[in-house]
Structure 1
Amino acid sequence: MTRIGFLGLGNMGAPMARRLVEAGHDVVVWNRSTARTRPLVAAGARAAATPAAAVADREVVVTMLADPAAVEAVFFGADGAAAHLAPGSLVVEMSTIGRDAVLRLRDSLPAEVRLVDAPVVGSVPQATGGQLRILLGGTPADVEAAGPALAAFGNTRHVGPLGCGAALKLVLNTSTISLFVLVGEALALADQLGLDPAETIEGLGATGMAPFLARIGDRIDDRDVPTYFGLGLAHKDLELALAAADGSGRPPRHLLAGGRDQLAAAVRAGMAGRDVSTVIHLLRGETGR
């Protein structure tokens, strides 16, 4: 049993924290909205009123937060966690925030606190079922120390030094998000050309798009699916990826920028909380609910 503090109980964080409780760990949870802590308390966790209280005397601290600004606020804002981390404790940063933010966090944390970045591949069903893929960046010793807690979430892979997990997660997410936009634009073109949607999808399914279409088939037909990957978070990831690419001296990332702009329009329309697949319907002129 490990003493764990868990910060951030969103769509992914809540089922992940529950898995830690069910695995027998001693878990203290914190969330900005306290209502999100109640099901975890009922399951056996304890709730803390502040990030500082959530990490006191914890061996491992797991963060699953929205963006770099949220990580900064939780660690270094009012009642922040950083000053209350136990010497020798291990922070497992699982948010999608990019390599630069992970390295800034390392520079700002107390030297005696260890850090690994461990973003996940998968969505709510995988978080609930303990089938996530976890991309770990850090020293071999710190990655090994994170193992007992991370075992509750799924399979781990050590991909390099600190920041490499965060970097690889951005690469993977930009590819997936861009595919949603690509499918939306392809179907919009087919609509404009008067093609039968079912025939178009059948044709796309015979191309290299087949695995992706098999995963999202229900989301093409249904505009009101549960939010597994929030559109606003997807927009944030493309912004992070484009920022990371700036100054490289390479050609502009036109595809990423175009996808970012499509998602930005949806965010401005108040759809940040909808699933990222909503962009397909927006591109086809279907506004949904």
Structure 2
Amino acid sequence: MIGMGAGGRQDEKLGYLGLGMMGFPMARRLLAAGHEVTVWNRSVGKAKALTEAGAKPAANPREVAASSSIIFMCVTDAAAVEDVVFGTEGFASVPSADKLVVDFSSIHPDKARAVAVRLNDANGMKWIDAPVSGGTKGAEEGTLAVMAGGDTADIERVRPYVLTMARRLTHMGPTGAGQMTKLCNQVIVGCAMAVLAEATRLAVNSGIDAGRLPEALAGGFADSIPLQLFVPRMVQGIHSPPLGHIATMLKDLDTVAEVAHDTSTPVPMASLAAQLFRLAKAARGADVDALEIYKISASQRG
């Protein structure tokens, strides 16, 4: 049954493109909340699992946009965003009719602004850049933090739907502000992963029980969600399902370096973290859990 959404609007028809580690559980939460959702994924397996749960399948991004008033998407990088939007089967050619795109992908802020302008010129669709933080665990549990850039009215229109998938949605400013906030997030998270890997290795090599670090440091200045979540996974070698891929973290930290260069911002810690993740990528692979950064410091003692 169709109910009333924010501002007296009827519940929107939703679309979701990109059903990877983050997109699949996010789209599943929309379905579980009773929303009508049309889905598409480049590989059909993930889409099939959701259609069996009640989602409507689409053959391409254009079909998703044609049948949806709000289009959510979460894809790998800027090239994938451009292909979904402007490719031969993209949704830039679909008449907008007040349609709105919410992009959960993490891309360069300048690219987000450029895509938003180009799409609006093409068919009038509005754009919100809304990258997320919280990893696969947050996506599954609906505890993600979403940082958004776009018009206030557009943010409020999508808020009730986003909060089905997330705990918090913060409007950070105009288009691109969400992506800029995500880069700040990645500076903190990427450096935290590197520092926690270092501390955990020091504990192991010194002969103390590294698995008790979260308990011992709880409530002190070193306590944090990353400490409590990451260290046990490092110590126990829990890397599946991954919280995020090494390649994704490295991509974001490299984008930080680009923006830092353009804004004359010193980022020595983020730059060092990026080099450590580059080493981890070479040693462990691009698509392994980012927390495998811990393994690059392994020795016969550890």
TM exceeds 0.5?
A: yes
What is the CA distance between 1:37 and its match in structure 2? 0.6
> Deviation per CA, 1:166-192, whole angstroms, max 9, x where unpaired?
111110122111111112233445566
Mapped to 2, the partners of 1:180 and 1:65 lie a distance apart of 23
> Deviation per CA, 1:119-170, whole angstroms, max 9, x where unpaired?
1221222212222222121111111111232131123222222211111111
Cα–Cα, structure 1 residues 201 and 97, in superposed 2: closer, same or farther, change >3 Å?
A: same
Equivalent of residue 153 in structure 1, options 165, 190, 197: 165
CA contact (8 A) 2:200 2:210 kept: no
| Alignment gaps of 5+ in structure 2 | 1-10
| Alignment gaps of 5+ in structure 1 | none
Mapped to 2, the partners of 1:164 and 1:232 lie a distance apart of 23
1:144 matched to which residue of 2?
A: 156
Counting aligned pairs with the same residue, the percent is 30
1:233 matched to which residue of 2?
A: 248
2:47 matched to which residue of 1?
A: 37
What is the CA distance between 1:85 and its match in structure 2? 5.1
What is the CA distance between 1:285 and its match in structure 2? 4.1
RMSD, aligned α-carbons = 2.4
AA matched with 1:177: G
Q: Secondary structure at the match of 1:104?
A: helix
2:138 matched to which residue of 1?
A: 126
What is the CA distance between 1:86 and its match in structure 2? 2.4
1:1-289 matches, within 5 Å, as 1-84=11-94, 86-111=96-121, 112-154=124-166, 155-189=168-202, 194-198=206-210, 201=213, 205=217, 208-211=221-224, 212-226=226-240, 227-251=242-266, 253-285=267-299
CA contact (8 A) 1:20 1:27 kept: yes
Q: Secondary structure at the match of 2:105?
A: coil
Q: Secondary structure at the match of 1:109?
A: helix
Aligned residues: 285
What is the CA distance between 1:247 and its match in structure 2? 2.9
CA contact (8 A) 2:284 2:292 kept: no
What is the CA distance between 1:276 and its match in structure 2? 1.2
What is the CA distance between 1:200 and its match in structure 2? 9.2
What is the CA distance between 1:72 and its match in structure 2? 1.2
AA matched with 1:159: M
> Deviation per CA, 1:250-285, whole angstroms, max 9, x where unpaired?
44x222222112212222345222221110122234
Moved more, 255-264 or 27-36: 255-264
> Deviation per CA, 1:218-237, whole angstroms, max 9, x where unpaired?
21212233202111111111
Mapped to 2, the partners of 1:199 and 1:56 lie a distance apart of 51
TM-score (norm 2): 0.86
CA contact (8 A) 2:283 2:296 kept: no
What is the CA distance between 1:195 and its match in structure 2? 4.8
Mapped to 1, the partners of 2:93 and 2:135 lie a distance apart of 32
Q: Secondary structure at the match of 1:65?
A: coil
